[in-house]
Amino acid sequence: MDDKYHPQEVEEKWQKFWEDNQSFRAAEDPSRPKYYVLEMFPYPSGRIHMGHVRNYSIGDVVARYKKMRGLNVLHPMGWDAFGLPAENAAIERKTHPETWTRENILYMRTQLKRMGLSYDWEREIATCEPEYYRWNQWIFLKFYERGLAYKKASSVNWCPSCETVLANEQVIDGGCWRCETPVVQKNLEQWFFRITDYAEELLRDLDRLQGWPGKVVTMQRNWIGKSIGAEILFPLAGRQGAVRVFTTRQDTVYGATFLSLAVEHPLALELSRGTSRESAAKEFVERIQKISHARRGEEDAEKEGFITGAYCENPFTGEKIPIYLANFVLMEYGTGAVMAVPAHDQRDFEFAKKYGLPVRVVIQPKDTPLKAEEMTEAYLEDGIMVNSGPFSGLSSHEGKEKIALFLEEKGWGKKDIRYRLRDWGISRQRYWGTPIPIVYCDKCGIVPVPENQLPVTLPRDVPFTGKGGSPLLDSKNFLDASCPKCGGAARRESDTMDTFVDSSWYFLRYVSPRFDSAPFDSKSATAWMPVDQYIGGVEHAVLHLLYARFFTKALRDLGLTKIGEPFTNLLTQGMVCKETYRCAEHDWLFPGELAGSDQAGWRCPKCNRPVEKGRVEKMSKSKKNIIDPEELIAAYGADTARLFTLFAAPPEKDLEWSAQGVEGAFRFLTRLWRFVFQNKESLAAARSDASHGELPPDLRNLRRMTHRTIKKVTEDIETRFHFNTAIAAIMELLNAVTAAAKDGPESNREMPVVKAALEAIVALLYPFVPHVASELWASLGQNVPLDLAPWPAYSKEAMEEENLLIVVQVDGKVRSKITVPADASSEYIKEEALADPKVRGFLSGKEIHRVVQVPRRLVNIVLEG
């Protein structure tokens, strides 16, 4: 290596070194504490993008740092390889999803290796391999045995573009999570996982996730949506039966003046059957059902109702109250029927005003009485119960409890808890996923495939035409099966599993990736789990991260592991963004460019108008603001790509692309490289470090700064993951080194301290830029590779200050700064401050009221008046 920095050369050399030496193989070792760091595995889409670069750079810093700290680090990587894009690509390119996926994995693996990430590649997994997905099927069968997997017909979310069902979690703002196409409702028979069995535990254990961002915890809490209340039966008037309602406000039951039913409610049509209202009811139900759920929920959708003509009895007041159908009542939540209390629910209030229904106040605020006829909106707060028979005078809180007990006594209802969380629909009408291990026999019905017949493999010879419907339906070989029970002719389930099943337990597979008698070796799981640090995007807050928690608990209950939570600490990294450029007339037109090009001066190729700078947005193909990491790495090297993404912003915040920022990162590495190589001889000749006593003051300062920097970098990584400030501190240290060695190599007296500082810089940089750090470490004469070196230590003695800079304020404004010996008494510091000529100028003629001192930092002289 010469004194010019050639990143490609350096990076190739060290990547080969790591590969040859298997530097990052992980093995269980009971003698050392373990550390499992994991980044969310990628979908093999074809090429890595900047989001991957950021995600994996962050993870690599953590992995390499923890390794240097002496922990036994597990840092694996794999592929979330099933999914729809492979199938679409197969249709478009006339290839096979498997071919496409394998090619992508091959390509992306070399890209990741090119980044110099410290993975144990021996543990690599891909979810599309039968060795992996057979365990999806195995888990499915275990779930089926325990009633955690079941099939039912229901109204499900259907994406017309992806031609498949979606789970509730995969519907974002009424659209498909993948393609944003508006989702429609369909009635289908589907397989479900009973995640609702774990609703309470999933909710309760959120309190244990102290290492998770509060935002994600809140999102999961809201998604699970626990409501504590009561179920109340309202007997139908003049006929058998009752309407069951769920309410969280049983304290307002005396104010229930009508009932509202969802149009999907079983009684919706039933109640007016055979009456003059029958056909009108049908019309209303059909009209509302046509509107999708998302549209029905739109902000100012007007409350609409239909009077069924039927009545029921409020068991508490004995009153006959009318039953309405209402467009805003959801069949999916509670019982699909609500008791309407117009005085204390805004929706019921609006509905009552519109249809002229009575508003009865049954809760009073403490001081000001409420008058129904003066109300302009519902009173939603708790208060004192009134007009509530024997319950009047109780607080809402007491009332809820007393009414619930009373209900149970009378047999009118019971206490009840409801969750918003629905069971997880896992059937997908697509090819490229795990086949559901079920056959349908005319005689025996639904029959699970026996464990010893797993895996049920995907047939390879299937046409991909894009004509719609699952390609598996065209594979007679696949569909035809014999019934495992009776041996008769049977048909295989043609639906595959949601790919989120694959990712719900992959972190467990890594602990024993080739284990072939269970999804994973429980002993290894005990050794490595839980994941100590998980890193990925926030978009999975209620998808993957909820499913993975559910699987962990369910697998625990199957006796496979002991842990109840998979991820102890979670870091959700921000997005990678870039400014966009657009023509006012035409669409986004201008692709991102690497350093140097001034897009602002470009013109629109359609109309030749100058383009305008648009907003800074998340890098995406549609916004044409993508930077291809491969080009970045080719131009500057992986170390610069890593350094830039780590330095430009703290990990949890969005990162804005900056070509100049990349240049800056590269310049820093070049500067460090040049300094080491230009002083190679004198550095090699010098010993490292010198004791304090033998040093002149300027070198004492450099030595002090070296140790302070080690401390700061350690704390920034350890406690906050603030890599940007850690890197800034290292840059400062290099600035100080070059300043100290300004006089050139002839002044060799400073070399020991300079050398010690450089060793610290290089070691501290290793987690961020491992290739260049490894090379410079060797150039400094170190024989042991940096991969095996311990994290640098700082000494308290070396950091001790000889002098202190004291800020002197007068009336809270900084007026002077004085330097005092580190051991000066506060009395002495005060005297010095008062004697300071600048300070005296502000004191003349005025009386000193008091003097505030902060030890070792500040004196504030407060004047009278």
Query: How many degrees, rounded to 5, is the angle at CA 630 between CA 624 and CA 633?
Result: 120
Q: Least distance to RNA from the beta carbon of 34, Å?
A: 27
Contact 598, 579 (CB under 8 A): no
Task: For residue 348, give both structure tokens.
Answer: 């019921």
State the number of binding residues for RNA (CB under 7 A).
Answer: 90
In angstroms, rounded to a whole number, what is the distance separating the alpha carbons of residues 135 and 133?
5
Positive or negative CA dihedral for 307, 310, 314, 319? positive
* Residue 233, phi-psi category: left (phi > 0), alpha (psi -120 to 50), beta (remainder): beta
Closest C-alpha among 587, 586, 573 to residue 625 = 587
Please give the radius of gyration of the chain, using alpha carbons only, rounded to the nearest integer.
34
Choice between 670 and 782, CB closer to RNA: 670
Residue with tokens 């311990």: 790
Q: Is 732 in the site for RNA (CB under 7 A)?
A: yes
Least distance (Å) between residue 340 CB and RNA:
8
If one asks whether residue 755 binds RNA (CB under 7 A), the answer comes out as no
The answer to the question of residue 860 lying near RNA (CB under 7 A) is yes
Alpha helices in 612-687 (DSSP H): 629-636, 638-647, 659-678, 680-685
DSSP 62-103: HHHHHHHTT-EEE---EE---SHHHHHHHHHHTS-HHHHHHH
Instruction: Tell me: does residue 840 bind RNA (CB under 7 A).
Output: no
* Residue 457 vs 803, nearer CB to RNA: 803
Choose the binding region for RNA from 26-34, 211-219, 451-459, 494-502 (rule: CB under 7 A): 211-219
Q: Does 807 bind RNA (CB under 7 A)?
A: yes
* The amino acid at 770: P
In angstroms, how far is CA 339 from the centroid of its own chain? 38
Residue carrying structure tokens 């295989």: 492
DSSP annotation of 459 reads: P
Residues 145-204 that bind RNA (CB under 7 A): 172-173
Residue among 665 and 763 whose Cβ is closer to RNA: 665
Check binding of 660 to RNA (CB under 7 A). Answer: yes
Q: Does 2 participate in binding RNA (rule CB under 7 A)?
A: no
User: Closer CB to RNA, residue 115 or residue 733?
Assistant: 733
39-62 core/surface letters (b: 16 or more CB in 10 A; e: else)? bbbbbbeeebbbbbbbbbbbbbbb
List 21, 218, 819, 826, residue binding RNA (CB under 7 A): 218
Of 379, 668, 721, 777, which lies in the binding site for RNA, with binding defined by CB under 7 A? Answer: 668
Contact with RNA (CB under 7 A) among 815, 818, 833, 836: 815
Binding region for RNA (CB under 7 A) out of 8-16, 454-462, 668-676, 825-833: 668-676
Instruction: Give least dist CB 806 to RNA, A.
Output: 9
State yes or no: residue 718 binds RNA (CB under 7 A): no
Closer Cβ to RNA, 351 or 505, answer by number: 351
Span interacting with RNA, options 432-440, 456-464, 500-508, 814-822, rule CB under 7 A: 814-822
In the complex with RNA, the residue whose CB is nearer, 279 or 735, is 735
Q: Quick check: 822 binds RNA (CB under 7 A)? A: no
Q: Pick the binder of RNA from 205, 401, 593, 656 (CB under 7 A).
A: 656
What track of x and - describes contact with RNA for positions 411 through 440 (by CB under 7 A)? Answer: -------x-x--------------------
Piece in contact with RNA (CB under 7 A), picked from 271-279, 385-393, 603-611, 648-656: 648-656
Question: In the window 63-122, what residues touch RNA (CB under 7 A)?
Answer: none
Q: Is 35 exposed, middle or buried (0-12, 13-18, 19+ CB in 10 A)?
A: buried
Cβ proximity to RNA, 210 vs 719, nearer residue: 719
Site track 523-562 with RNA (rule: CB under 7 A), x = hit: ---------------x---x--------------------
| Alpha-carbon span 730 to 734, nearest angstrom | 6
Q: Among 424, 382, 418, 420, which residue's Cα sits nearest to residue 401?
A: 382
Determine if 593 is a binding residue for RNA (CB under 7 A).
no
Q: Which residues contact 95 (CB under 8 A, 6 or more apart)?
A: 89
Footprint (CB under 7 A) of RNA, residues 260-279: 262
Q: Which is nearer to RNA, 590 or 668 (CB)?
A: 668
Least Å distance, CB 305 to RNA, is: 11
Nearer to RNA among residue 9 and residue 715 (C-beta) = 715
CA distance 534 to 566: 9
Residue 215 near residue 229, CB atoms below 8 Å: no
Measured distance CA(645)–CA(686) in Å, rounded: 35
| Cβ at position 794, least distance to RNA in Å | 13
Selected binder of RNA within 33, 70, 225, 241 (CB under 7 A): 225
- Smallest separation (angstroms) from RNA to the CB of 341: 7
d(CA 174, CA 297): 10
Residue 21 binds RNA, judged by CB under 7 A: no
| Cβ pair 650, 656 in contact under 8 A | no
Closest CA relative to residue 186, chosen from 429, 22, 519: 429
Please, what is the end-to-end C-alpha distance for the chain in angstroms?
69
Provide the total of helices (H) and of strands (E) in the chain, helices listed first: 28, 34
Q: Tell me the backbone φ, ψ of residue 535, rounded to 5 degrees.
A: -135, 130
Q: Between 163 and 304, name the residue whose CB sits nearer to RNA.
A: 304
By CB under 7 A, is residue 706 in contact with RNA?
Answer: no
Residue 232-261 contact track with RNA, rule CB under 7 A, x = bound: --------------xxxx------------
Q: What element of type H or E holds 578? A: strand 576-582
Ranges within 323-342 binding RNA (CB under 7 A): 327-334, 336, 338-339
Q: Does 661 bind RNA (CB under 7 A)?
A: yes
Tell whether residue 130 is a contact of RNA (CB under 7 A). no
Residue 727 interacts with RNA (CB under 7 A)?
A: yes
**Residue ranges of the alpha helices (H) in 395-487?**
396-410, 476-479
Q: How many CB atoms lie within 10 A of CB 247?
A: 25
- Pick 697 or 812: Cβ nearer RNA: 812
Element (H, E) at 819: strand 813-821
Q: Which is nearer to RNA, 96 or 400 (CB)?
A: 400
Candidates 63, 55, 51, 48; CA nearest to 120 is: 63
Residues in CB range of 61: below 8 A, 6 or more apart = 646, 717, 723, 767, 768
Up-side HSE of residue 43: CA atoms within 13 Å toward CB? 10
Q: How far is the CB of 698 from RNA (least distance, A)?
A: 14
Listed ranges 269-277, 430-438, 717-725, 783-791: which one lies at the site for RNA (CB under 7 A): 717-725
Cβ(341)–Cβ(250) below 8 Å: no
- H or E segment and range at residue 555: helix 544-557
Interacting residue with RNA among 307, 728, 799, 820 (CB under 7 A): 728
Considering the rule CB under 7 A, would residue 712 count as an interface residue with RNA?
yes
- Return the range that interacts with RNA (CB under 7 A); candidates 78-86, 310-318, 819-827, 852-860: 852-860
The one segment of 223-231, 427-435, 508-516, 630-638 that binds RNA by CB under 7 A:
223-231
Half-sphere exposure of 451 (CA within 13 A, CB side): 12
* Residue in 196, 289, 670, 701 binding RNA, rule: CB under 7 A: 670
Lay out the site mask for RNA across 607-646 (x = CB under 7 A, - = otherwise): ----------------------------------------
- 208 near RNA, judged by CB under 7 A: no
Tell which one of 182, 484, 650, 785 touches RNA (CB under 7 A): 650
User: Mask: binding to RNA, 282-311, rule CB under 7 A, as x and -?
Assistant: --------------xxxx-x-x--------
